[in-house]
Amino acid sequence: MSQALDMFNMAGAEQFSKMVCQMAPYFSTINPTLSTLRPGYAEAQIPFRREITNHLGTIHAIALCNAAELVAGTMTDVSIPKGGRWIPKGMTVEYLAKAKTDVTAIADGSGLDWSTAGDKIVTVDVLDTAGLKVFTARITMNVKLAE
């Protein structure tokens, strides 16, 4: 089991989320709570707050990208073999609807082969409280395995 997954299981969602924001402070701008984390899957809730809105009163595009990178990165970290490393290499996004409520970001990498090195395309969907998909991302994670 990965060190991050051990920490999530021991500390719980709220405390683990705070630790992640301490390690990567920019994530704290979206005030996330990572509620589910396991190999191949991560989910986080992002509260609707004025601080992350745009001139239209909806969640800003970059806040949605930040949420996508958070769940894709933590999911990748707990999915790769021990000693492996990863880094985001690219992100393609689509804004599908206005995000006017709290949102949930979901990274599903369950169909990916995490035992091999190379680029992995992680899909992230962001849903509003009604279950409407407001945003989707495809994040290329470059994985290197221990030698």
Tokens of 22: 């301490």
Report residue 134 CA to chain centroid gap: 15
Give the pLDDT confidence of 121-137 residue by residue, as tens digits. 999 999 999 999 999 99
pLDDT given at position 2: 85
Question: Is the confidence at residue 4, as pLDDT, over 70?
Answer: yes
pLDDT given at position 1: 60
Give the pLDDT confidence of 84-130 residue by residue, as tens digits. 999 999 999 999 999 999 999 999 999 999 999 999 999 999 999 99
Phi/psi for 85 (5° steps) reads -130, 160
* Of 73, 89, 79, residue with least CA distance to 114: 79
The whole-model pTM stands at 0.95
Q: What length does the chain have?
A: 147
